[in-house]
Amino acid sequence: MAVQQAAVIGAGTMGAEIALVIAEHGVPVVLKEIAPQYLERGLRQIDALLQRRVERGRLRTEEAQAARARIHPTLEEQALTTVDFVIEAVPEQLALKQAVFRDLGRLTPPHAVLATNTSSLPVHELAQASGRPANVIGFHFFNPASVMRLVEVVVTAETAEATVATALAFARQIGKLPVRVRECPGFLVNRILVAGMVEGMRYQQEQRAALDAVDRALREQARVPMGPFQLADLVGLDIVAEIGGILEAAYGERFQVPPIVRELVAQGRLGQKSGGGFYQPDGTPLPLGDQPVEGEQLVQRVLAAGFLEAYRCLEEGIASPDEIDLAMQAGAGWPLGPLTWAEQQGLPRVVALLQRLAATVGPRFTPPASLVERAARGEPLRPQPTDTPRSGGA
Whether the per-residue pLDDT at 374 is higher than 60: the answer is: yes
- CATH code of residue 195: 1.10.1040.50
Query: Are 114 and 177 within one domain?
Result: yes
Assess if residue 299 is contained within a domain.
yes
Asked whether residue 391 carries a pLDDT value surpassing 80, the answer given is no
CA 384/CA 61 separation, integer angstroms: 49
Kindly report each contact of residues 343-348 with a partner whose C-beta sits within 8 Å and lies 24 or more positions away, as own/partner.
343/380, 343/381, 347/371, 347/374, 347/375, 347/380, 347/381, 348/375, 348/376
- Is pLDDT above 50 for 393? no
pTM: 0.93
pLDDT in tens, 150-191: 999 999 999 999 999 999 999 999 999 999 999 999 999 999
Task: Spot the catalytic one: 25, 72, 124, 140.
Answer: 140
Residues 290, 145, single domain; the answer is: no
Question: Among residues of the chain, what percentage have pLDDT more than 70?
Answer: 97
- pLDDT confidence of residue 386: 57
Q: Evaluate whether residue 68 is within a structural domain.
A: yes
Say if residue 164 is in the same domain as residue 234: no
Can you give the pLDDT at residue 331?
94
**Of 160, 312, 10, residue with least CA distance to 168:** 160
Q: Read off the pLDDT of each residue in 211-239 and give the average, rounded to a whole number.
A: 96
Residue 331's domain comprises 187-369
CB neighbours of 181 closer than 8 A, spacing ≥ 6? 138, 152, 153, 154, 155, 187, 188, 318, 319, 323, 327
Of 212, 198, 209, 281, the C-alpha closest to 240 is: 198
Q: How far is CA 51 from CA 28, 43, 56, 385, in A?
A: 20, 12, 9, 48
Contact 336, 255 (CB under 8 A): no
Residue 1 has pLDDT above 60, yes or no: yes
The total number of structural domains that make up the chain:
2
pLDDT at res. 33: 97
- Do 225 and 198 lie in a common domain? yes
Q: Is the alpha carbon torsion for 24, 27, 28, 31 positive or negative?
A: negative
Residues 198 and 315 in one domain: yes
Residue 197 lies in a domain: yes
For residues 270-290, give the mean pLDDT: 94
Same domain, residue pair 193 and 175: no
Going by pLDDT thresholds of 50, 70 and 90, the confidence category of residue 385 is low
Let me know: does 102 contact 112? Beta carbons within 8 Å: no
**Mean pLDDT calculated for residue range 261-286:** 95
Structure confidence at residue 389 (pLDDT): 47
Residue 307 has pLDDT above 60, yes or no: yes
The reported pLDDT for the residue numbered 390 is 43
Based on the fold, state whether residues 105 and 194 are members of the same structural domain.
Answer: no
Residue 387 has pLDDT above 90, yes or no: no
Whether residues 218 and 327 share a domain: the answer is: yes
Looking at residue 386, the DSSP 8-state letter turns out to be P
Confidence of residue 2 (pLDDT cuts 50, 70, 90): confident
Q: Is residue 389 part of a domain?
A: no
Residue that finishes a domain, picked among 182, 211, 240:
182
Q: Are residues 201 and 152 in the same domain?
A: no
Give the residue among 150, 164, 146 at the shortest CA–CA distance from 22.
146
Q: Is there a domain that residue 1 lies in? A: no
Residue 378 placed within a domain: no
Q: Where does the pLDDT of residue 143 fall: very low under 50, low under 70, confident under 90, or very high at 90 and above? A: confident
Query: Bigger pLDDT: 387 or 129?
Result: 129
**Whole-number pLDDT of residue 384:** 72
Is residue 188 a contact partner of residue 179, using CB atoms and an 8 Å limit? Answer: yes
Q: Is the dihedral of CA 248, 252, 254, 259 positive or negative?
A: positive
To which H or E segment does residue 97 belong? helix 94-107
Tell me which residue of 121, 283, 119 sits closest to 193, measured CA to CA: 119
Here the CATH number for the domain that contains residue 168 is: 3.40.50.720
Answer with the one of 182, 200, 234 that is the final residue of a domain.
182
Beta-sheet strand order (sheet of 136-141): 71-74, 29-32, 6-9, 85-88, 113-116, 136-141, 150-155, 177-182
- Average model confidence (pLDDT) across the chain: 95
Let me know if 140 is a catalytic residue: yes
Single-letter amino acid, residue 158: E
Instruction: Note the pLDDT tens digit of each residue in 242-272.
Output: 999 999 999 999 999 999 999 999 999 999 9
pLDDT at residue 65 tops 90? yes
The mean per-residue pLDDT over the stretch 274-281 comes to 94
Q: What is the pLDDT of residues 71-114, one digit of tens each?
A: 999 999 999 999 999 999 999 999 999 999 999 999 999 999 99
Return the C-alpha torsion angle 357, 360, 362, 364, nearest 10.
Answer: 10
Contacts of 356 (CB under 8 A, 6+ apart): none
Q: 100 and 200 share a domain?
A: no
Predicted local confidence at residue 139, as pLDDT:
98
Domain presence at residue 388: no
Single residue among 182, 203, 219 that ends a domain in this structure: 182
